């Protein structure tokens, strides 16, 4: 029998990934390989993806430990451009802190900060053209801020108040901004990936010059939509940039459950014949350079690119999460790639283009502006303080033309409300 032939084998065992550190553990990230800044080569954007698979296993880095921009990926931006990028990242951080407090004060139900990940969205927004279409996940508020979306509009959506252009139909922070090329955020993981590919394919089929960019967390690469999107993108050479934000943690499960123990997330690109880059996600200049490179590749019909942004989620997954329950409290401060805002600030200071006094003044100015925008938004109401939209708008914005059966339901609902005496009818 076959079982007799295998009698000398050890029983099979199942490998269950386990994070390196748990609550109470001393953190030591010495095992994380950090290549020297400037060491990664920069291939021509027309080069075949199979000829630079090594870039999926290293880290594209520009800023070194002394704050100097070095190597072939240095985008050589002007000091003004870098100061704008720094300001936008600082604005994201101040906005996050203010809205986090608002949730804790009961003014809204939910919020997600991007502390430590600001460079991923802000630097990409600076590298893309303003009319390129972004398909974000739920931690890319930096795209909107860098593209000039009024903070009060974002806050109105978070509060689901009378100024909310989405009429309270979306969970707080799930923005939708056609004005700024920002596709509606979905709480369902990675649905935005095939949407971005479809948009990019449409742009190409129409002979347009605009490209698409999309973002997801590393855990979402285990979703079927991720792989469907990469298949379509490689077959049709869709002009799209796939961004995988590897911040080491999903809600309470570490990146190993998505395959991080076996290989890098950038290596997902290799099996699809897609260009893959692994980038220092806390280095704003590296993120800018990689995005600019991928955008040129897409715009010249050389195909899609997958960029893994190697970074760290400094705080909880959301206001509903307590990271102290599943990871060591020492991880955020021990992360070897540092803080993206501090690193860009130190770079500008090393260039003689910035100083601590100007930085402190900028932070104060931003904080005052964010506070003023919050006060303006709260004049339109806060979540939980009554119905901020006319009740019959519940049916609006779903279909371009409301079908007859929904019109009947709407009329029935309004008749019942009028009979009840509740003041929810449209004014």
Task: Tally Cβ neighbours within 10 Å of residue 162.
Answer: 15
| 329 shares a domain with 280 | yes
d(CA 152, CA 118): 20
Q: If we measure between CA atoms, which residue out of 33, 58, 60 comes closest to residue 283?
A: 60
| 396 shares a domain with 366 | no
Supply the CATH number for residue 324's domain: 3.40.50.970
Q: Residue 242 CA to chain centroid, in angstroms? A: 11
Predicted confidence band of residue 1 (pLDDT cuts 50, 70, 90): low
| 408 shares a domain with 306 | no
d(CA 174, CA 158): 8
Parent domain of 405: 391-420
* Tens of pLDDT, residues 339-354: 999 999 999 999 999 9
Q: How many domains does the chain have?
A: 2
| 415 shares a domain with 269 | no
Task: Name the pTM for this structure.
Answer: 0.95
Q: How far is CA 236 from CA 100, 197, 205, 230, 239, in A?
A: 42, 9, 10, 10, 9
| 159 shares a domain with 132 | yes
Arithmetic mean of pLDDT, 33-56: 98
Is residue 183 in a domain?
Answer: yes
Predicted confidence band of residue 404 (pLDDT cuts 50, 70, 90): very high
Residue 71 pLDDT greater than 60, yes or no: yes
| 398 shares a domain with 347 | no
Residue 409 pLDDT greater than 70, yes or no: yes
| 411 shares a domain with 272 | no
Check: CB of residue 100 under 8 Å from CB of residue 155.
no
Specify the pLDDT at position 389: 85
Is residue 363 in a domain?
Answer: yes
Is residue 25 in a domain?
Answer: no
Q: Residue 206 CA to chain centroid, in angstroms? A: 28
Arithmetic mean of pLDDT, 307-325: 96
Is residue 108 in a domain?
Answer: yes
| First-to-final CA distance of the chain | 81
d(CA 189, CA 135): 12
Is residue 383 in a domain?
Answer: no
| 236 shares a domain with 176 | yes
| 195 shares a domain with 154 | yes
Residue 186 pLDDT greater than 70, yes or no: yes
Structure tokens that stand for 171 in this block? 């969970």
d(CA 372, CA 152): 9
Arithmetic mean of pLDDT, 70-75: 98
Specify the pLDDT at position 426: 47
Predicted confidence band of residue 237 (pLDDT cuts 50, 70, 90): very high
């Amino acid at each position: 029998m076959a079982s007799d032939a295998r009698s000398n084998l050890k029983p099979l065992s199942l490998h269950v990934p386990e994070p390196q550190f748990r609550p109470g553990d001393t953190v030591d990230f010495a095992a994380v390989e950090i290549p020297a800044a400037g060491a990664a080569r920069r291939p021509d954007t027309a080069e075949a993806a199979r000829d630079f698979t090594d870039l999926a296993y290293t880290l594209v880095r520009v800023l070194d430990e002394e704050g100097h921009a070095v190597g072939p990926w240095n985008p050589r931006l002007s000091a003004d451009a870098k100061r704008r990028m720094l300001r936008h990242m600082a604005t994201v951080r101040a906005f996050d802190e203010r809205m986090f407090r608002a949730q804790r004060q009961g003014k809204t139900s939910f919020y997600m900060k991007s502390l430590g990940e600001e460079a991923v969205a802000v630097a990409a927004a600076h590298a893309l053209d303003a009319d390129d279409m972004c398909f974000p996940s739920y931690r890319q508020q930096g795209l909107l801020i860098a593209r000039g979306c009024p903070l009060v509009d974002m806050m109105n959506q978070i509060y689901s108040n009378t100024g909310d252009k989405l009429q309270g139909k979306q969970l707080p922070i799930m923005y939708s901004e056609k004005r700024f090329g920002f596709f509606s955020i979905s709480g369902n993981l990675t649905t935005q990936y095939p949407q971005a590919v479809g948009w990019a394919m449409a742009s190409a089929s129409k002979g347009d010059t605009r490209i698409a960019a999309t973002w997801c967390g590393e855990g979402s690469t285990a979703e079927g939509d991720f792989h469907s999107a990469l298949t379509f993108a490689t077959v049709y050479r869709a002009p799209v940039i796939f961004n995988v934000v590897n911040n080491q943690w999903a809600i309470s499960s570490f990146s190993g459950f998505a395959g991080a123990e076996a290989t890098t997330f950038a290596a997902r690109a290799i099996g699809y014949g897609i260009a893959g880059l692994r980038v220092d996600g806390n280095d704003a200049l590296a993120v800018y350079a990689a995005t600019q490179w991928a955008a040129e590749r897409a715009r010249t019909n050389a195909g899609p690119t997958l960029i893994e942004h190697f970074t760290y989620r400094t705080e909880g997954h959301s206001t509903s999460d307590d990271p102290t329950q599943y990871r060591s409290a020492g991880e955020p401060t021990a992360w070897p790639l540092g803080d993206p805002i501090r690193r860009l600030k130190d770079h500008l200071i090393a260039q003689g283009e910035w100083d601590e006094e100007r930085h402190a003044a900028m932070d104060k100015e931003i904080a005052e502006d964010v506070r003023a925008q919050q006060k303006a938004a709260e004049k339109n109401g806060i979540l939980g303080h009554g119905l901020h939209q006319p009740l019959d708008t519940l049916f609006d914005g779903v279909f371009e033309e409301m079908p007859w059966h929904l019109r009947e339901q709407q009329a029935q609902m309004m008749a019942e409300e009028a009979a009840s005496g509740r003041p929810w009818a449209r004014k």
